Chains A and B, each alone.
Chain A
């Protein structure tokens, strides 16, 4: 029991720490993989919580997801490697206060409420039970998730494709101005100046 507690505290601390680092590192690739480490720590906590399938599946899914996330980070952020210090935030105090108040309120709620105590029997075949449930009583829910994912795929392709119903999606697009109401940012071709 001692080892399990120790493992939990180490994993919990690393989940929170790496989650925090996501918004503090300059390198975007490091930020994505920091989030991945947070997910991996949570997945390992789930292993401790007797949910091996969900835990390992979280690690698996998040490794793929954060890999894609890292590519998008490199695509859409200036300074993706963090070679210069960077601070791209707005309403920072409000955000920090909201985050902290959420944490404090949830913690108080957790500490004050009467939590249920009916732990999983370690000998229970939880993966088998989950499989039977997914393709048994809860098949409709499972299939709904599947259809939702299919709809997501179709929607993603439609949203992100360049050719739209009314011509190319990027036709006539201008970069946003650097100051409100100013000229579009970016390089202007010489013959237009």
Chain B
């Protein structure tokens, strides 16, 4: 287990996450892609902390900030999905065309 191996795994997670976020039509599935990207970021942060900082606590602090970002992303994301559904009865990205022109 080396830092390079950990970072490659996190790169794979980020790659899959980008694929999901770009390809999915449903809002909720799109958010799954975002979550997967943050998953990779979290792993990379902890990998760098574990192999590169000699245990300085600030690295773990960054991981906690990433977790807070995840929580914010989920909560606001779902709130937006609910708001859009109320207003437009839309649950897919294609249904939102107001900003297209």
Are chains A and B touching in the complex at the 8 Å CB cutoff? yes
A114-150 contacts to B (CB < 8 Å):
115-121, 124, 126, 129-130, 132-134, 138, 141-142, 145, 148-149
Decide if A83 is an interface residue (CB 8 Å cutoff).
Answer: no
Of B5, B27, B71, B86, which one neighbours A76 at CB under 8 angstroms? B27
Separation of A103 and B16 alpha carbons in the complex (Å): 8
| CB pair B19 A96 closer than 8 Å | yes
Of B50, B68, B83, which one neighbours A120 at CB under 8 angstroms? B50
Mask: chain A, 149-167; 1 = CB below 8 Å from B; 0 = not: 1001101110110100000
* A-B pairs with beta carbons under 8 A, tally: 273
Decide if B101 is an interface residue (CB 8 Å cutoff).
Answer: no
| CB pair B13 A19 closer than 8 Å | yes
Decide if A63 is an interface residue (CB 8 Å cutoff).
Answer: no
Of A32, A51, A141, which one neighbours B32 at CB under 8 angstroms? A32
| CB pair A141 B18 closer than 8 Å | no
Of A8, A19, A53, which one neighbours B36 at CB under 8 angstroms? A19
Separation of A124 and B91 alpha carbons in the complex (Å): 48
The interface residues of chain B, by DSSP majority, are classed as: helix
Given the interface contacts A54-B64, A156-B75, does A176 sit within 8 Å of B90 by beta carbon? yes
Of A54, A98, A121, which one neighbours B54 at CB under 8 angstroms? A121
| CB pair B16 A133 closer than 8 Å | no
| CB pair B74 A65 closer than 8 Å | yes
Separation of A180 and B19 alpha carbons in the complex (Å): 25
**Which A residues contact B (CB, under 8 angstroms)?**
4-5, 8, 12, 15-16, 19-20, 22-23, 28, 31-32, 35, 38-39, 42, 45-46, 48-51, 53-55, 57-58, 61, 65, 68-69, 72-73, 76-77, 88-92, 94-96, 98-100, 102-103, 106-107, 110-111, 115-121, 124, 126, 129-130, 132-134, 138, 141-142, 145, 148-149, 152-153, 155-157, 159-160, 162, 169-170, 173-176, 180, 186
